Structure 1
Amino acid sequence: MVEKRTSVSTGTTRRSLLAATGVGAATALAGCTGGSSDGGQTTVRMRTSTSSTTAYGANQGLASAVNDQTDDLFVEAQTSQGTEANIGALQSEDAEMVYIQNWSAYDVQQGNDPYDQLNFDMVQVFHYYDLPWFFITNSSDLETLSDIGADTKVSPTPKGSGTAPALEKALGYAASDYERVSVGYGSQGSAMNENQLDVGVGTLMNFAANPSWLQQTASEVDMKVLDVEDSTAQAWQDDERLLSQTVDTGQIENATTPGEIAAPTFAYNFVARNDLDYDTVYDFLTAMHEKKAELTEYHGLLATFESNDFWVKNMYDGVPFHPAAADFYKDELGVWSEDFERADEK
């Protein structure tokens, strides 16, 4: 029986072709990995970050939405300690999909330590969210990043965070020398008041949502967003390791801002092993898309998925799409670009 799917394309989809020729998906894709199957229901384990993060909370909502839409899959949102642990879960096949960001994706693609011994090819599935970062202060002496000097105490996110290496690299284009300190996100305001911190960081999730810890900082000090000089912005744009995009800081309440500025941006995408079962990925994306108008009811962060273009926003250069994802975006959503790469099927 041919499985009916709503499609923006008049062409034959890869799945309907399999059905029409009498080739069952299980036969055609024998040998592919997938979640455990119980009575015909396939489990999809997804990993993001720790339990207190928005990333994990939104993933819980996403899992619930897909589970409400289909009986063929059971999606389980799982916690994780971060990107390195997530890639490790793919390596050990303890997860089907995990999120990472562009900085780590580059290291995986290049085979850099600690990802130089992976036994699988990584593929992209869908975009999750973006975090553009900017630098904040309460100092009247600082206006731009270039004003930072050797005695300026700067915390470009806490030491050990996955974001720190990228922000340290970005900051280096404007300030070659400063005092590196480590302050938690929610402690930046008090640290500034105690003269333990001169410059901290802020972000707007998906370029709009103001995190509670940034609101807290703005309520504790006369917060100011530092401007970025054109030469620094251009250096960020030219650096292949950095993703630099424009963010409107004028939307931040209780803060003095320069308006639109360049911002080192982290794009968080869900990735998988290339040998993850084709139907598992296609069915997951189908169920998720069928729920897209209701996703915001499960978690506010998921509202962006109402736009089909968002599903493939800020995808990683040099990392191919899972074959099922590629077909889904081409045949169902009509957002496939010739600049994208489709992985070979396993």
Structure 2
Amino acid sequence: MVNGTDGFARRAFLATAGAGAMGLAGCLGGDEPRPVDDGGNGGNGGSEGETTLRMRTATSTTAAYAANQGIAAAINENTDDLFVEAQTSPGTEANIGALQSGEAEMVYIQNWSAADIQEGVEPFDDLDFTLNQVFHYYDLPWFFCSGNADLSSLADIGAGTTVSPTPRGSGTAAALEHALSYVTDEYERVSEDYGQQASAMNEGRLDVGMGTYLNFEIVPGWLQEMMGTVDLRVLEVPEGVVGEWQADQRLLAESFPGEELSDAAFAPEEVWSITFAYNFVCRNDLDYDAVYGFLETMYDERDGLAEYHALLSRLQDESFWVRNAYEGVPFHPAAADFYEEIGVWNEEFERGEG
């Protein structure tokens, strides 16, 4: 039977939300903390009146953090009104705690957490602000794969099949376990780190693991290694299960051509995945001019963002900025106005109130 994820998310949220506002406000790399002076505008006043926007993504070894450093550099090099500080974080749930405690102005989360916030699921049931969207950062589609030649479809998973739908405690695990429940609950839940999946498959400790295709264009290094050391098969998803995934409002099911995973031993013509949309969000009371100035500067520099990090290449397309918006989560008023002005606003989107 499937084991549920542990209490990591709740502990991370509570630890962050309960910390002092200066605890993680300093610059990274051992520099002295930048002075924080609340100018009454919902952000932080920096030197000579500039506004500091502290942005949090994930841990220091992730592409998410490295790309956010690129955004910070692009903003800081091209405006004197804002100072963007890219900061690390234990994960998306802890990021909401940073908004709650005032330790960050803008953070990224993914759609599963956004739905938890909308539904008031613990530990997000007592927030003192309304969550607002700012821009879409990237997509992370996850698909099931195996080095076991006897498995070709999710329907082949049985009671003795060892499955690691990402490590226990990860921000993706609960959603992937939920997606797999449309096929079966009768499997052995194990937990393997991404980079350890190949060795676990070769040693017979893991039958089914996960692969991802960042932004539907980048194969991460650990997956390249898997495909180089294991006869990796991407598992097919039964047609009826695809329909159930698409009908589930908590899940975002998307596909891409299997031929794009050219190094896999086998991939179906169409690879179906559970996608996590990572968007930057903020408090509804974040200063209007700070949000507008941030988006305007980043937009002006969008053609050069990929020079900072390949993950940012999709932001050259302005329609990508509002891709996979979270249903029921309003856009910050400044973001709504900005997207209207550049012509990508959708009337189905909701405008927030400051």
Counterpart of 1:223 in structure 2 is 232
Q: Report if aligned partners of 2:67, 2:311 keep a CA contact under 8 Å in 1.
A: yes
Q: Residues of 2 paired with 1:342 and 1:147: CA distance?
A: 45
Counterpart of 1:154 in structure 2 is 163
Q: Report if aligned partners of 1:245, 1:263 keep a CA contact under 8 Å in 2.
A: yes
TM-align CA RMSD: 1.0
Q: Residues of 2 paired with 1:101 and 1:72: CA distance?
A: 29
Counterpart of 1:49 in structure 2 is 58
TM-score, normalized by length of structure 1?
A: 0.89
Tell me how far 1:31 sits from its aligned partner.
5.0
The structure that has the greater radius of gyration is: 1
Q: Report if aligned partners of 1:48, 1:80 keep a CA contact under 8 Å in 2.
A: yes
Counterpart of 1:311 in structure 2 is 321
Q: Residues of 1 paired with 2:110 and 2:209: CA distance?
A: 21
3-state DSSP of counterpart to 2:352: coil
Counterpart of 1:15 in structure 2 is none
Runs of 4+ in structure 1 off by over 3 angstroms are none
Residue 285 in structure 1 maps to residue 280 in structure 2? no
Tell me how far 1:196 sits from its aligned partner.
0.3
| Structure 2 spans left out of the alignment, 5+ residues | 1-38
Q: Residues of 1 paired with 2:151 and 2:346: CA distance?
A: 43
Counterpart of 2:350 in structure 1 is 341
Q: Residues of 2 paired with 1:90 and 1:110: CA distance?
A: 18
Q: Residues of 1 paired with 2:348 and 2:128: CA distance?
A: 26
Q: Residues of 1 paired with 2:80 and 2:259: CA distance?
A: 45
Tell me how far 1:71 sits from its aligned partner.
1.1
Q: Which deviations, in whole Å up to 9, do the C-alpha atoms of 1:74-133 show, x marking residues without a partner?
A: 100000001121000000111010000000000111111010011111000000000111
Tell me how far 1:35 sits from its aligned partner.
2.2
Residue 327 in structure 1 maps to residue 327 in structure 2? no
Q: Report if aligned partners of 1:132, 1:247 keep a CA contact under 8 Å in 2.
A: no
In the TM superposition, 1:85-234 aligns within 5 A as 85-234=94-243
Q: Report if aligned partners of 2:251, 2:274 keep a CA contact under 8 Å in 1.
A: yes
Counterpart of 2:17 in structure 1 is none
3-state DSSP of counterpart to 1:39: helix
Counterpart of 1:20 in structure 2 is none
Tell me how far 1:261 sits from its aligned partner.
2.6
Counterpart of 2:5 in structure 1 is none
Q: Which deviations, in whole Å up to 9, do the C-alpha atoms of 1:59-79 show, x marking residues without a partner?
A: 001110111111111100000
Q: Residues of 2 paired with 1:181 and 1:298: CA distance?
A: 37
Q: Which deviations, in whole Å up to 9, do the C-alpha atoms of 1:123-154 show, x marking residues without a partner?
A: 00000000111011011111110110000010
TM-score, normalized by length of structure 2?
A: 0.87
Moved more, 108-117 or 280-289: 108-117
Residue 297 in structure 1 maps to residue 303 in structure 2? no
Q: Residues of 2 paired with 1:79 and 1:327: CA distance?
A: 29
Question: Aligned partner of 2:331: which letter?
Answer: F
Q: Report if aligned partners of 2:291, 2:335 keep a CA contact under 8 Å in 1.
A: yes
Q: Residues of 2 paired with 1:262 and 1:136: CA distance?
A: 11
Counterpart of 2:3 in structure 1 is none
In the TM superposition, 1:12-31 aligns within 5 A as 31=40
1:272 aligned residue (279, 282, 285): 282
| Structure 1 spans left out of the alignment, 5+ residues | 1-29
Tell me how far 1:259 sits from its aligned partner.
2.5
3-state DSSP of counterpart to 2:44: coil
Identity %: 59
**Residue-pair matches, total:** 315
Q: Residues of 1 paired with 2:47 and 2:129: CA distance?
A: 25
3-state DSSP of counterpart to 1:63: helix
Q: Report if aligned partners of 2:46, 2:83 keep a CA contact under 8 Å in 1.
A: no
Q: Which deviations, in whole Å up to 9, do the C-alpha atoms of 1:135-184 show, x marking residues without a partner?
A: 11011111110110000010000111110000000011112310110011
Tell me how far 1:223 sits from its aligned partner.
0.5
Q: Residues of 2 paired with 1:301 and 1:208: CA distance?
A: 9
Q: Residues of 1 paired with 2:170 and 2:192: CA distance?
A: 11
Q: Residues of 1 paired with 2:331 and 2:301: CA distance?
A: 22
Q: Report if aligned partners of 2:292, 2:334 keep a CA contact under 8 Å in 1.
A: yes
Counterpart of 1:262 in structure 2 is 272
